[in-house]
Chain A
Amino acid sequence: MQSQRKTHVSTTVNGEPREFLCEPHQVLSDVLRNTLNLTGTKEGCNTGDCGACSVLLDGTLVCSCLVLAAEVEGKGVVTVEGIGEEGKLHPIQQKLLEHAGLQCGICTPGIVIASRALLEKNPDPSETEVRYWLAGNLCRCTGYDKIIRAVLDAGAVMRGQ
């Protein structure tokens, strides 16, 4: 296989302008992790089935393993590293800690990102809505119970309750 000329991409990651070179076939999760060293985005399947690589692309929740890195030219990417305010955890992160909503933690970055996307669209979701929204974020440790409670509680905090 011969080496192709790499693609130059200018984008915004977690609010900061970033530029990188990538192979045309490289997916965003690969570039985030191995080029930009943002390893908070995890890879559990690389087929869009586990949700560990969830990021926001121009505000839309996507699996970064199913986005070509070249596609993010001119767009904005938010990863788990960009979720909290400077030096402060996001309410979703804080509530996951308080509710013990993580064990091994490999799915946690994806859960954090997906939950933020949900609560921005729907600040007061029902338990069922949270469960269906997070159906694409596999967790094998917790049985989901404490994750769901954490997200519902984070919603309440964000609504000022």
Chain B
Amino acid sequence: MNMNVKTEFKYVGTRPIRPDGPDKVTGRARYGADLNVQGMIYGHIVRSPHAHAKIKSIDFSAACKLPGVLATMSADDLPEPGDRKIPGGEVEMALKTFSPVVMARKKVLYHGQAVAAVAATSPELAAEAARLVKVEYEVLPHIMDMHAAARADAPLLHDDVYTQGVDPAPTTPSNIPTQIEISTGDISKGFAEADLVVERTYFVPMCHQGYIEPHACVVQTDENGKVDIWCSTQGAFMVRTLTAAVTGIDIGRFKVTASEIGGGFGGKTTVYLEPVAVVLSLKSGRPVKMVMSRDDVFRATGPAAAAETRVKIGVTRDGRITAIETDILMDCGAYTSHPIMAGVLFNSACYRCENVRSFGREVLTNKPRVYAYRAPGIPQPVVAVECVVNEIAERLNMDPIDFRLLNAVDEGDVMAIGIPFQAIGLKQVLQEAKAHPHYTAELKAGQGRGVAVAFWINAGMQSSATINVSEDGSVNILTGNPDIGGSRASMALMAAEVLGIPVETIRPSVVDTDSVGFCDVTGGSRTTLATGGAVIKAAETLVKELRKRAAAIWSLDIEEVDWTGGMAVAKSGTGLENMNREDAATRGDKTLTLADLAARAGATGGPLCAVASHNAHNAAPSFALNICDAQVDRETGKVDILRYTCVQDAGKAIHPAYVEGQMQGGAVQGIGWALNEEYIFNEQGRLDNPGFLDYRIPVASDLPMIDTVIVEVPNPLHPYGVRGVGEVPIAPPMPAVVTAVNRAAGTRLCHLPLSPPKLLAAIEAAEAGTA
């Protein structure tokens, strides 16, 4: 299916100022916590002080005695999840992995888990009332170490979790919800053919998306049972689906409006506060506002999984990979959101290899339920694979990019999961990187360089778009995907391209769930591809309608009218010049602009608008490569990132500045994860660094400029060649940084983050010859 991919563009590929920009630089843009409504009260959550405990009783009586406390709730106000599934289109999710994250039922499984909630007339009063809620716990032993939790004799978090993916199905419960294995070829044969086999184990810690805006919502309910939600989310429709499932209220009663969103990176693709605020609003009859504290965000939302990956790669003397084996143990917190999947399926998708075995297990521990973070499940095993690839290239005395070029997948190659690649840009990415001046720049003593590549599958999924034309010919685009990184700008550019009108005359909006067709979340790198695809389709439908209207005015057949340069043009030979037509007389041409047609819309059939929706099955993978130069202070273990370059195949960069922004932002998140970011739990199983002071995300002075090179190998399945760009940037940084640091320091530290105490110890061990 090689459809016609457009390659010549007038608007796509330019860098106009984003339409939502002026509101954001002036403070007018409204985020989750920026809405205050008449009569609003404030919700506050009571959170577990224990990492693992039975909830014996909850007593609200003291809290309720405070004047101004208007509602309380607990899991008793929510339906039992049982074995019910949340309707999610093609993917069904178990309600019992969502409902207790909103509000614990019978048991708490991590410190900070929501146990109860109150609503009162001021935030301070609500906090005070929450302190007065008396919860009686029976404390249970907590398990924080995933290896301990994976053992057969480990205390169980749940008595109803049976490992999926094992044949025959186990009859006893365990802390391992999922096991998965894929293989192709003959792994033993592959290693037998190898001249060199390298095997290493890498650990990557649990980390947080670190969005700056805490979760926030305002919920209003009315006498007829209507529920209006305003919230910061990556998907208004997702909030509707999940809140309906958790509260047991029909979807048809909800209207969800996504506020501007202050960062998400996957972390806002689920609900935490919204169902609680709905119940509190229904019980109090008042609008309820809830805002998480920063502490709540770190303790009780969904960080990225920690993982330990053992990787074993065999190569021939001349550098051909003969076997790749990976074994991943992934710490997914107290409930699973199945973070293991992508990690097992795609950890070595960059390489052509006949013999692959990839195995993974998820483990439950007394930590917050992990959730999506930018290419979920991939960065953790990719560290291991890419660092070992670098080590192999070094031992073979080969250039690491040449080694990868020799083994890189290309069009026609079949992935380990059996899917063949269409046109992909990995080789072009590698070649661009090799040609970049950074790659051959000289390094001084004590400095090191690392490169790494990564693959991400990218998602399609469901999207809708509506286009309305105003009387003056200006255009409104409505979509349902919260704009997290500049998607309104790319929607406007794609519509401008189809309609042939200046991008400034197009106003793109993200609207509520009542005002546009269903859209899956802004996530999976899908918005530009899938929602953009819906915008292109709607714009093409509109163009057809415009041609029809012009044809009617000109008394021509629609096939005799072209749409070009933002106007209807009669094809030559239609004899239009002989027609009795006022436009022809006054304008002396044979065209009708969008404005002309808009002005005459009432007379030609009514308002001009178009709707499109689809389930996009045209996603295509992205590849990204990073080059990192690092320097290490051998006496303190402090790392400086000296120079950094990102190369990525975007398919087609609709707004290149925001593609670069995704590359740079993802790189810096990965640098943070490699060097300093980690969840630190204390002896009691409590998170010890739930704030930006000690959860150390990179600050401006930690970094150099981040160079970018956009490669454009069009996605053959998308009309504009779009692939999706948001997620893959976080996969290569960790191995690039780890390789650079270990080269600079003369160490082989495999335990992330490479924090100064660990790195100094590794340097000293290397110097003592004990490494």
- A–B in direct contact per CB < 8 Å: yes
Which A residues have a C-beta under 8 Å from some C-beta of B? 1, 23, 25, 33-34, 37-47, 49-50, 52, 79-81, 83-84, 89, 93, 96-100, 102-109, 112, 127-128, 130-132, 134-149
| Contact partners of B665 in chain A: CB under 8 A | 103, 140-143
Find out whether the CB atom of A80 lies under 8 angstroms from the CB atom of B26. yes
Known contacts A49-B692, A142-B664; A40/B263 CB under 8 A: no
Which among A46, A96, A108 has the highest number of chain B CB atoms within 10 Å? A108
| Contact partners of B485 in chain A: CB under 8 A | 103-104, 141
| Contact partners of B265 in chain A: CB under 8 A | 140
Which among B25, B26, B212, B264 has the highest number of chain A CB atoms within 10 Å? B25
Interface stretch among B15-23, B413-421, B582-590, B740-748? B15-23
| Contact partners of A148 in chain B: CB under 8 A | 700, 705
Find out whether the CB atom of B703 lies under 8 angstroms from the CB atom of A42. no
Interface residue from B30, B33, B262, B692 paired with A104 (Cβ < 8 Å): B262
Interface residue from A43, A50, A100, A142 paired with B692 (Cβ < 8 Å): A50
Find out whether the CB atom of B125 lies under 8 angstroms from the CB atom of A140. no
Interface residue from B21, B27, B125, B486 paired with A40 (Cβ < 8 Å): B27
Interface stretch among B84-92, B349-357, B653-661, B712-720? B653-661
Residue interface bits B28-55, CB-to-A below 8 A is 1, else 0: 1111011010000000000000000000
| Contact partners of B680 in chain A: CB under 8 A | none
Dominant secondary structure at the A interface: loop
A23 to B124, CA, bound (A): 11
Find out whether the CB atom of B661 lies under 8 angstroms from the CB atom of A146. yes
| Contact partners of A138 in chain B: CB under 8 A | 212, 692, 697, 699
Question: Interface size for chain B: under 10, 10 to 19, 20 to 34, or 35 or more residues?
Answer: 35 or more
Q: Which B-chain residue is minimally distant from A111 (CB atoms)?
A: B25
Interface residue from A1, A39, A104 paired with B128 (Cβ < 8 Å): A1
Q: Given known contacts A40-B27, A97-B21, A103-B263, what 11 new A-B pairs fall within 8 Å (CB)?
A: A39-B27, A43-B214, A47-B693, A49-B692, A79-B27, A80-B25, A83-B26, A89-B25, A105-B24, A131-B700, A140-B212
Interface residue from B34, B128, B666, B700 paired with A144 (Cβ < 8 Å): B700
Expressed in whole angstroms, the minimum distance between the Cβ of A78 and any Cβ of chain B is 12
| Contact partners of A103 in chain B: CB under 8 A | 263, 484-486, 658, 661, 665
Q: Which A-chain residue is minimally distant from B214 (CB atoms)?
A: A44
| Contact partners of A128 in chain B: CB under 8 A | 701
Q: Which B-chain residue is minimally distant from A79 (CB atoms)?
A: B27
Find out whether the CB atom of B263 lies under 8 angstroms from the CB atom of A141. yes
Residues of B508-537 at the interface with A, using a CB-CB cut-off of 8 Å, are: none
Known contacts A44-B294, A89-B26, A97-B25; A145/B664 CB under 8 A: yes
Find out whether the CB atom of B25 lies under 8 angstroms from the CB atom of A108. yes
Residues of B634-656 at the interface with A, using a CB-CB cut-off of 8 Å, are: none
| Contact partners of A145 in chain B: CB under 8 A | 664, 703, 705-706
In the complex, B213 has a CB within 8 A of chain A: yes
Which among B213, B486, B666 has the highest number of chain A CB atoms within 10 Å? B213
In the complex, B667 has a CB within 8 A of chain A: yes
Residue interface bits B211-233, CB-to-A below 8 A is 1, else 0: 11110000000000000000000
Expressed in whole angstroms, the minimum distance between the Cβ of B481 and any Cβ of chain A is 14
Number of A-B contacts (CB under 8 A): 184
Expressed in whole angstroms, the minimum distance between the Cβ of B308 and any Cβ of chain A is 26
In the complex, B668 has a CB within 8 A of chain A: yes
| Contact partners of B213 in chain A: CB under 8 A | 42, 44, 104, 106
Expressed in whole angstroms, the minimum distance between the Cβ of B66 and any Cβ of chain A is 8
Residues of B191-222 at the interface with A, using a CB-CB cut-off of 8 Å, are: 209-214
| Contact partners of A83 in chain B: CB under 8 A | 26
A152 to B19, CA, bound (A): 23
Find out whether the CB atom of B668 lies under 8 angstroms from the CB atom of A34. no
Dominant secondary structure at the B interface: loop
Find out whether the CB atom of A89 lies under 8 angstroms from the CB atom of B22. yes
Find out whether the CB atom of A41 lies under 8 angstroms from the CB atom of B21. no
| Contact partners of A109 in chain B: CB under 8 A | 25, 27
Find out whether the CB atom of A140 lies under 8 angstroms from the CB atom of B697. yes
A79 to B15, CA, bound (A): 29
What are the 6 tightest A-B residue pairs by CB atom distance, in nearest-first order?
A40-B27, A106-B262, A105-B24, A143-B664, A143-B668, A100-B657
Find out whether the CB atom of A47 lies under 8 angstroms from the CB atom of B657. no
A131 to B66, CA, bound (A): 48
| Contact partners of B629 in chain A: CB under 8 A | none
Known contacts A45-B691, A106-B212; A142/B661 CB under 8 A: yes
A89 to B21, CA, bound (A): 11
In the complex, B386 has a CB within 8 A of chain A: no
Which among A39, A42, A106 has the highest number of chain B CB atoms within 10 Å? A106
Expressed in whole angstroms, the minimum distance between the Cβ of A53 and any Cβ of chain B is 11
Residues of B116-138 at the interface with A, using a CB-CB cut-off of 8 Å, are: 124-125, 128
A84 to B488, CA, bound (A): 24
Residue interface bits B363-390, CB-to-A below 8 A is 1, else 0: 0000000000000000000000000000
| Contact partners of A142 in chain B: CB under 8 A | 661, 664-665
A159 to B262, CA, bound (A): 32
| Contact partners of A136 in chain B: CB under 8 A | 699
A37 to B593, CA, bound (A): 43
Q: Which B-chain residue is minimally distant from A93 (CB atoms)?
A: B25
A149 to B30, CA, bound (A): 26
In the complex, B431 has a CB within 8 A of chain A: no
| Contact partners of B18 in chain A: CB under 8 A | 97, 100
Known contacts A42-B31, A50-B692, A145-B705; A104/B26 CB under 8 A: no
Q: Which A-chain residue is minimally distant from B66 (CB atoms)?
A: A1
| Contact partners of A147 in chain B: CB under 8 A | 700
User: Can you list 28 A-B contacts with CB-CB less than 8 angstroms, sorted by A residue number?
Assistant: A42-B213, A46-B294, A47-B294, A47-B692, A83-B26, A100-B486, A100-B660, A103-B485, A103-B486, A103-B658, A104-B212, A106-B211, A106-B260, A107-B212, A107-B262, A127-B705, A130-B700, A132-B700, A138-B692, A140-B210, A140-B211, A140-B212, A140-B263, A140-B265, A141-B263, A144-B700, A145-B703, A146-B661
In the complex, B269 has a CB within 8 A of chain A: no
Find out whether the CB atom of B262 lies under 8 angstroms from the CB atom of A102. no
Known contacts A49-B693, A140-B265, A148-B705; A102/B484 CB under 8 A: no
In the complex, B261 has a CB within 8 A of chain A: yes
A156 to B15, CA, bound (A): 21
Known contacts A104-B262, A106-B262; A40/B664 CB under 8 A: no
Find out whether the CB atom of B125 lies under 8 angstroms from the CB atom of A1. yes
| Contact partners of B700 in chain A: CB under 8 A | 130-132, 134-135, 137, 139, 144, 147-148
Expressed in whole angstroms, the minimum distance between the Cβ of A11 and any Cβ of chain B is 18
